[in-house]
Amino acid sequence: MPAPERIPPRSGLTGPAADPAGPAAPADDSAVCELLAEGELTVRGRIREASNAVLYCSVELDGRSGTCIYKPVAGERPLWDFPDGTLAQREVAAYELSRATGWDLVPPTVLRDGPYGEGMCQLWIEADPAVELLALVEGEEPGPGWKAIGFAEVGGGGTALLVHADDPRLRRLAVLDAVMNNADRKGGHLLPTVDGKLYAIDHGVTFNAEDKLRTLLWGWAAEPLTDEALGVLRRISEDLAEGGSLAARLAELITADELEALRDRVAALISKGRHPEPSGQWPAIPWPPV
């Protein structure tokens, strides 16, 4: 059966800063972040399906240009369980954490002033529609190359097994989501690119001090973490300690309690050495799942 519907393709940089036929984002994120932070933003449209204000923009600086998403704080809907800070700050914190892992799973993201006040600005990434990361399959086993998530209703009152790809990029993202305590990892947030990269978007509901993990990426639940992931977690743990550069940066974006809870999650993952399992206290998969 076909994979669940994805969000529309996203395009990246053009002009001297990047080759449109090359990678979706250049290796030097600092140049992209400079463009996003200091370039002139022009609103070109709005993504109406989003629950908060999400504006599609062009950005230009010194002959370089690109396309990006701008989410102004003024367009955020208040959330009772995320009362501290802003969703925009959490989006930037997710990028900083992703960058620190070396996995670079979150597109370059900055906090800046824009046409509608302060908000987050994130590079727009082009997704490859030919890459299938999610699917519905018949039977009770996912089959080679897939990991089972759970059963979903399909047309005619039946059910099918919802699966995600057994992909090392997704496995890294599952670890990152557990670290940042992502409360809303949906299929539409996954953006595979034609050059083999994977990006993930929409991180406004992350870093809560309470356990909020809800995700589609449960396929590795309770399995041992890879040696690579454990190595990254140990390095992140050192950088999150008092005086660490990552700790200092995140302290500007999330609360002290949230930063301490982040340290605790990293320590717990290292100690247990396994991917987390659903807590059973609330639905483990966000709705809708895509």
- Position 17 pLDDT exceeds 60: no
CA distance 137 to 134: 10
Residue 215 domain-assigned (yes or no): no
Residue 30 domain-assigned (yes or no): yes
Is the Cβ–Cβ distance between 126 and 10 less than 8 Å?
yes
CA distance 104 to 100: 8
Decide: helix, strand or coil at residue 169: helix
Provide the whole-model pTM. 0.88
Residue 272 domain-assigned (yes or no): no
Tokens at 12, concatenated: 């990246």
Q: DSSP letters along 89-129, please?
A: HHHHHHHHHHHHHT---S--EEEEEETTEEEEEEE-----T
Supply the pLDDT for residue 2: 32
Please report which confidence band the pLDDT of residue 7 belongs to, taking 50, 70 and 90 as the band edges: very low
Residue 174 domain-assigned (yes or no): no
Residue 260 domain-assigned (yes or no): no
Residue 9: is the preceding peptide bond cis (ω within 30°)? no
Structure confidence by residue, pLDDT tens digits, 20-64? 333 333 346 899 999 999 999 999 999 887 778 999 999 999 999
134-158: b (≥16 Cβ within 10 Å) or e:
bbbeeeeebeeebbbbeeeeeeeee
Q: Taking residues 142-162, what's their average pLDDT?
A: 83
Please report which confidence band the pLDDT of residue 236 belongs to, taking 50, 70 and 90 as the band edges: very high
Residue 91 CB partners (closer than 8 Å, separation 6+): 71, 109, 120, 122, 202, 203, 204
How far, CA to CA in Å, does 133 sit from each of 32, 178, 245? 27, 19, 34
CA distance 49 to 185: 16
How many secondary structure helices (H) and strands (E) does the chain include? 6, 11
Residue 108 domain-assigned (yes or no): yes
Supply the pLDDT for residue 5: 29
Q: Taking residues 128-134, what's their average pLDDT?
A: 93
Is the Cβ–Cβ distance between 66 and 15 less than 8 Å?
yes
Nearest alpha-carbon partner for 182 in 166, 162, 204, 167:
204
CA distance 265 to 211: 9
Supply the pLDDT for residue 227: 98
* Count of domains forming the chain: 1
Residue 34 domain-assigned (yes or no): yes
Q: DSSP letters along 190-237, please?
A: EEE-TTS-EEE---SS---SS----BS--TTTTSBPPHHHHHHHHHHH
Supply the pLDDT for residue 24: 37
42: left (phi over 0), alpha (psi -120 to 50) or beta: beta
Residue 72 domain-assigned (yes or no): yes
Query: Lowest-pLDDT range, 25-39, 112-126, 166-180, 268-282?
Result: 25-39
- Which structural domain range is residue 77 located in? 13-123
